[in-house]
Chains A and B, each alone.
Chain A
Amino acid sequence: LEFFVISVLNGVVHGLLLFMVSAGLTLIFGMMGVLNFAHAWFYMIGAYIGFTCTRTIGFWPGLIGAPIIVGTCGVLIERYMLRRVHKFGHAHELLLTFGLAFIIEEMIKLFYGDFPVSYAMPDYMKFAAFTLYGTNYPFYRLFMGGVAISMFALLYLLLTRTRVGLIVRAATYRPSMVEALGHNLPIVHMGVFAVGAGLAGLAGAVAGAFFPTGPNMGVDFGTLVFVVVVVGGLGSLGGALIASLLIGLFTSFSVGFTWSLADLLGLVGLGDWAREVGGLLTLQPATIAASTPFLLMLLVLLIRPAGLLGDRQ
């Protein structure tokens, strides 16, 4: 049971973090039809801004500064780059953000070097929130989860309870009608892009202090985020939330499993044969924890190609 509770807690926190990044991505896609490939790289910029601020002025200014700076980057990219290639189609926009991701990663390497930096939370946050079965559970994990939940609540209220949210939701379904009613659609797009990028930046600043901050975090996190949006269904916030939690739980559970297919076959007397065959049969879920999200994605694609909450095309 100890393993179960700890895994659930870790999985939920990891999932909420994934959701913070994928929420912006899926929001932008639902509205503008642009798949922002660079989104996870915005997350990386956020982490590095947090790192720089912690070194110079402090942890909290970094937490506030990261979403603002990354959001501003988002505005500039949307206004001066994406809008320019919009006429060439969505594939072109995807490729442009792909190139931007490439540039961001290389710029980070240029300024901070090829190796991970030691971005750490302030000392006064390094304490155990509670003790569970003799293990101290770090407070910072709860903090990350808290930030993600409050962000989700804020976003939800903003989208469903305010006039701005009303226009944003309307612009997703009937853009030309919204425009005809006198709303400035390009500004709405820019705003959504900025908020999405800012969320990724905030997530980076928060999570970078706990997980390693390095030039590879864009690729590593980026593929996970893409899996989340495919599993959840592109453009669906609820789907992204469910998929994030699912993937968070899946990875945290598979880390703890140390039995393999061979052991399973051993129950029916085929264990020795399986160990002889080797290969996939002797792989333990713990060693392939990094692959489980992708396997989950294949499973979802087989059963429900549109994603969990996606619309059928």
Chain B
Amino acid sequence: VIVRRILPRQLVLIAAGLAILLVSPMVLSSSFVNAAIKMMIAALFALAFSLAMGQAGMLSFGHSAYYGLGAFAALHLMKAVEQHLLMWPTPLIPVVGAAAGLISGIVFGWFATQRSGVYFAMVTLALAELLFTLAPTWDSLFGGESGISTMRMPSWMFSFGNDRHVYYLTLAWVVLSTWCLWAFTRTPMGRLAIAMRENEHRVKFLGFNTHLTRTLVFAISAMFTGVAGALLAVANEATNYTIFSAQASASVVLQTFIGGAGTFFGPALGAAVMTFFARITSDLTRSWLLYQGLIFVFIMLFVPQGLGGLISMHARRSHVKAIRQLALPYLLCALSGLLITVGIVFVVESVYILLSDTYVAERHAAGGALVPYGLLGWKFDPLSPLTWSIPTVFLLAGSALLPLAKRRTEKVWNRALPDSAV
């Protein structure tokens, strides 16, 4: 990450993005507003996570701990407000989440940052797992297995009964936190974090206390993670111990790297896109998580800089001629990708249907025969070679196109976008 002044072009982009975010809830339906809230929270979570990962090079597999602690802290406060034990305006509830994240980040971070690299990753994972195993047995703090639920209270002339109020509250906090996270990268400490990622020994020899710095950077990352958790608590009004699960930590890692950990906005992009896709596809297929895993491994293998890295690579050197040259190779890439995707989806969904309980029941009704199954409105015979030749043809065609597309793209990249070889 190189600190540059913001270009006017980027300012325009940011302003346009903000304007869209401000206007969209007025046009979108309620369920989309709800999806947008989740997307913004996921984006903030990913940004906070990548402060530790992208800036300081600390790969944490246990960020769900701070996410969950932020959420539980917010819920306890909301509960106290609901019971009129104390006065606290609803819009300021994420402050408690931030405090919970910061404190737990300092305590846990002090342990975790004893070591770096893969040790660090495993220690953070174990710390989150510690909370995950402890939470269901600790009734007073985490509400046992059922968790805590409460209500948002109206304050500051807003009722917060409406999704749109929650949306603007979330937006305000996400924008503020994003600005803070961005500003942090430009402080001397943010620069020190990057220096430590590049060469910790040298920073140590320069006389800095690296353990303290790493703890603080980690704690700040945990603090904003806590804000994201608190926003989730405000939006959902409930949570339970599963928020600490390895699944939650895993998804933020996946999203961050799909988006690209090397850029500032990449993780937010990845998180928003993946949350959105999850929302759409989880209604259509049960195998959504498998597809997410496949996308992640694909990105790790072929586009290690992530979506954000890919975009910024093009944005830096965009001129019309280069775009025109890239059109054909990109079309080839898209075609081959589409063919392979169709093949994989066909196989996965077929397997899923064939092994599902409903299909077994159908077979039973037909006296054990392998009856045709329905997929996308067509009927397929599970025993006919024709059925299985469809994905085979798709996969073979896609795989045959792939090397060609790769070669062509690389050729144009080397010519049109120098210093960007993958």
Interface residues of A (CB under 8 A from B): 29, 35, 81, 84-85, 88, 90-92, 94-96, 98-100, 102-103, 106-107, 109-111, 113, 219, 223, 226-227, 229-230, 234, 278-280, 283, 287-288, 290-291, 293-295, 297-298, 301-302, 305, 313
Tell me, yes or no, whether B140 is within 8 Å of chain A by CB.
yes
Are B300's CB and A103's CB within 8 A?
Answer: no
Known A-B contacts A90-B117, A111-B351; the reply to A96 vs B246 at CB < 8 A is no
Known A-B contacts A35-B118, A81-B301; the reply to A227 vs B290 at CB < 8 A is no
**Chain B neighbourhood of A111, CB < 8 A:** 351, 355
Known A-B contacts A91-B59, A106-B287, A110-B287; the reply to A223 vs B125 at CB < 8 A is yes
Are B300's CB and A227's CB within 8 A?
Answer: no
Tell me, yes or no, whether B414 is within 8 Å of chain A by CB.
no
Tell me, yes or no, whether B243 is within 8 Å of chain A by CB.
no
Are A92's CB and B300's CB within 8 A?
Answer: yes
Known A-B contacts A110-B287, A298-B111; the reply to A223 vs B301 at CB < 8 A is no
Are B123's CB and A99's CB within 8 A?
Answer: no
| CB pairs A–B below 8 angstroms (11 shown) | A81-B301, A95-B59, A99-B293, A103-B294, A223-B129, A227-B122, A230-B123, A283-B138, A291-B130, A294-B133, A313-B115
Interface of chain A, main secondary structure = helix
**Chain A neighbourhood of B127, CB < 8 A:** 294, 298
Tell me, yes or no, whether B352 is within 8 Å of chain A by CB.
yes
Tell me, yes or no, whether B92 is within 8 Å of chain A by CB.
no
* Chain B 162-178 residues near chain A, CB threshold 8 A: none
Are B117's CB and A297's CB within 8 A?
Answer: no
Known A-B contacts A234-B119, A283-B137; the reply to A110 vs B351 at CB < 8 A is yes
CA distance A230 to B111 in the complex (A): 13
CA distance A15 to B315 in the complex (A): 54
Are B134's CB and A291's CB within 8 A?
Answer: yes
Are A102's CB and B296's CB within 8 A?
Answer: yes
CA distance A84 to B125 in the complex (A): 26
Are B111's CB and A278's CB within 8 A?
Answer: no
CA distance A258 to B343 in the complex (A): 55
**Chain A neighbourhood of B292, CB < 8 A:** 102
**Chain A neighbourhood of B254, CB < 8 A:** 99, 102
Classify chain B: how many residues form its interface, as a range: 35 or more
CA distance A234 to B133 in the complex (A): 24
Known A-B contacts A102-B250, A280-B138; the reply to A297 vs B126 at CB < 8 A is yes
Are A223's CB and B126's CB within 8 A?
Answer: yes
Specify the chain B residue showing the minimal Cβ separation from A114: B286
Specify the chain B residue showing the minimal Cβ separation from A291: B133
**Chain A neighbourhood of B67, CB < 8 A:** none
Specify the chain A residue showing the minimal Cβ separation from B356: A113
Apart from A110-B287, A294-B126, list 8 A-B contacts with CB within 8 A. Answer: A88-B304, A90-B117, A95-B59, A106-B293, A107-B290, A226-B126, A288-B133, A301-B114
CA distance A293 to B125 in the complex (A): 13
Are B123's CB and A297's CB within 8 A?
Answer: yes
Tell me, yes or no, whether B21 is within 8 Å of chain A by CB.
no
Interface residues of B (CB under 8 A from A): 57, 59, 61, 111, 114-115, 117-119, 121-123, 125-127, 129-130, 133-134, 137-138, 140-141, 246, 250, 253-254, 257, 287, 289-290, 292-294, 296-297, 300-301, 304, 348, 351-352, 355
**Chain B neighbourhood of A35, CB < 8 A:** 118, 121-122
CA distance A223 to B138 in the complex (A): 21
Specify the chain B residue showing the minimal Cβ separation from A107: B290
User: How near does chain B come to A87, taking the closest CB pair, in angstroms?
Assistant: 9
**Chain B neighbourhood of A84, CB < 8 A:** 301
CA distance A111 to B117 in the complex (A): 35
User: How near does chain B come to A60, taking the closest CB pair, in angstroms?
Assistant: 27
CA distance A85 to B127 in the complex (A): 28
**Chain A neighbourhood of B140, CB < 8 A:** 278-279
CA distance A237 to B314 in the complex (A): 48
Are A102's CB and B293's CB within 8 A?
Answer: yes
**Chain A neighbourhood of B289, CB < 8 A:** 102, 106
Specify which of B126, B134, B140, B292 lies most central, judged by the most chain A CB atoms within 10 Å of its CB. B126
Are A219's CB and B257's CB within 8 A?
Answer: no
Which one, A95, A288, A313, contacts B300 given CB within 8 A? A95
**Chain B neighbourhood of A279, CB < 8 A:** 138, 140-141
Specify the chain A residue showing the minimal Cβ separation from B291: A106
Known A-B contacts A85-B304, A223-B126; the reply to A98 vs B250 at CB < 8 A is yes
CA distance A169 to B117 in the complex (A): 23
**Chain A neighbourhood of B300, CB < 8 A:** 85, 92, 95-96, 99
Are B352's CB and A227's CB within 8 A?
Answer: no
Are A305's CB and B122's CB within 8 A?
Answer: no
User: How near does chain A come to B373, taking the closest CB pair, in angstroms?
Assistant: 15
User: How near does chain B come to A172, taking the closest CB pair, in angstroms?
Assistant: 16
Specify the chain A residue showing the minimal Cβ separation from B304: A88
CA distance A278 to B144 in the complex (A): 14
Known A-B contacts A98-B253, A279-B141; the reply to A227 vs B126 at CB < 8 A is yes
**Chain B neighbourhood of A223, CB < 8 A:** 125-126, 129, 246
Specify the chain A residue showing the minimal Cβ separation from B298: A99
User: How near does chain A come to B263, taking the closest CB pair, in angstroms?
Assistant: 16
Which one, A92, A230, A280, contacts B304 given CB within 8 A? A92
**Chain A neighbourhood of B290, CB < 8 A:** 103, 106-107, 109-110
8 shortest interchain CB distances as A-B pairs: A106-B290, A102-B293, A294-B130, A290-B133, A103-B293, A35-B118, A99-B297, A226-B122
**Chain B neighbourhood of A297, CB < 8 A:** 123, 126
User: How near does chain B come to A95, taking the closest CB pair, in angstroms?
Assistant: 6
User: How near does chain B come to A46, taking the closest CB pair, in angstroms?
Assistant: 20
CA distance A278 to B287 in the complex (A): 43
User: How near does chain A come to B105, taking the closest CB pair, in angstroms?
Assistant: 16
